[in-house]
Amino acid sequence: MKRTRASIQNPAINFRRFIVNLSVQTFLVL
């Protein structure tokens, strides 16, 4: 719950985390 609230309060951090996760998945696929 705390993490969810933090993500809502800081959408920029959540978006950055999403991009990092996506790039990591792409790297693993490659």
pLDDT in tens, 1-30: 566 665 566 778 889 999 999 999 999 887
Angle subtended by helix axes 11-29 and 2-9, to nearest 10: 100
Q: How high is the pLDDT of residue 29?
A: 85
* Claim: this prediction has a pTM higher than 0.85: no
Structure tokens at 26: 């792409």
| Amino acid (1-letter code) at residue 7 | S
Asked if residue 7 lies in contact with residue 13, where contact means CB atoms within 8 angstroms, the answer is yes
- Distance (Å, whole) CA 13 – CA 28: 22
Q: What is the pLDDT of residue 20?
A: 94
Domain of residue 23: give its range: 1-30
Q: Number of folded domains in the chain?
A: 1
